[in-house]
Amino acid sequence: DTAVSQTPKYLVTQMGNDKSIKCEQNLGHDTMYWYKQDSKKFLKIMFSYNNKELIINETVPNRFSPKSPDKAHLNLHINSLELGDSAVYFCASSQGQGRGYTFGSGTRLTVV
């Protein structure tokens, strides 16, 4: 199936830990993204990345870092997790300007 897949689907971890969420797309898209959705369903862009440019939302703490080993993968690393990081994180991809996104099914992160 062509899709954006992210793992794990659920992640429960303690404050202070470091964790990663993986994302892979087999759609051949050029650009990948990470979004955070809070408890009020508010979606906020964190990063966008293609093979030329990483755009970081300036409000994202530097504890969050994207890592892209190749065009089909954009993983999210989070250091020193805090309670406020609890949210659903969505990976998405698109084929450039003026195209819709394809979203993954989300990773629910709970920091305890």
To the nearest whole angstrom, how small is the minimum distance from the Cβ of residue 93 to another protein? 10
Q: In whole angstroms, what is the distance from residue 64 CA to residue 78 CA?
A: 5
- Which residues bind to another protein, rule: CB under 8 A? 4, 31, 33, 35, 40-45, 48, 53, 55, 90, 92, 94, 96-106
Q: In whole angstroms, what is the distance from residue 13 CA to residue 109 CA?
A: 8
Handedness of CA 106, 53, 17, 84 (dihedral sign): negative
To the nearest whole angstrom, how small is the minimum distance from the Cβ of residue 21 to another protein? 14
To the nearest whole angstrom, how small is the minimum distance from the Cβ of residue 96 to another protein? 6
